[in-house]
Structure 1
């Protein structure tokens, strides 16, 4: 059975460029990750969109919570 491509939208508190780079590094190490982007500017730059095959949203959130104390899964959808 082939894994479907998923789009995961999460809210992660990134306050500066350095925090954004740390979050990007954590997400980039996830298994099956194809692309990652941060949405918006200003206060809305804390929305992370991850697209990939077989990416586990729970494991990803857990990894982000270790560094940022909070990471909220907003949506998980098949692409």
Structure 2
């Protein structure tokens, strides 16, 4: 059964967020998102997550951490103000071409030289 754990962590900047992300991504975790008004809440969704151990690790390595909620992740809530980071095994998997694509019109009445 999937569960959703929300932990409020005192983070100072991007370095603290990346450190919290590395700690939160453990086996069984499907997604990690930063939520809240100040992006100080870490929402972890996965299977078999030990919320107390995760809170303790965040408290030791990042800053003051407070466990806000633990529940099932069956409902999809409305996304308002969050940052979601995706971890791909190959970073160039979805490379988009930066060259413009112009439509080609094949008209019978147009000149074939131009």
TM-score, normalized by length of structure 1?
A: 0.84
For 1:72 and 1:31, locate their aligned partners in 2 and report how far apart those are by CA, in whole Å.
22
Which of residues 44, 49, 53 is equivalent to 2:43? 49
Q: What stretches of structure 1 of length at least 5 have no aligned partner? A: none
Question: Does 1 or 2 have the higher relative contact order (CA < 8 Å, sep 6+)?
Answer: 1
Report matched runs for 1:1-79 at 5 Å.
4-28=1-25, 30-41=26-37, 44-79=38-73
Aligned-pair CA distance for 1:6: 0.4
Q: Give the number of aligned pairs.
A: 73
Higher helix share: 1
Larger radius of gyration: 2
What is the TM-score normalised by the length of structure 2? 0.60
CA–CA distance in structure 2, aligned partners of residues 19 and 68 of structure 1: 6
Deviation at 1:22, TM superposition (A): 0.4
Q: Distance in 2 between matches of 1:60 and 1:72?
A: 10
- Specify every segment of 5 or more residues in structure 2 that has no aligned partner in the other structure, as ranges: 74-114
SS state of the match for residue 39, structure 2? helix
Cα distance between partner residues in 1 of 2:18 and 2:45: 18
* Structure richer in strand, relative to its length: 1
* Aligned-residue RMSD, C-alpha: 1.2
Structure 1 stretches of 4+ with a deviation exceeding 3 A read none
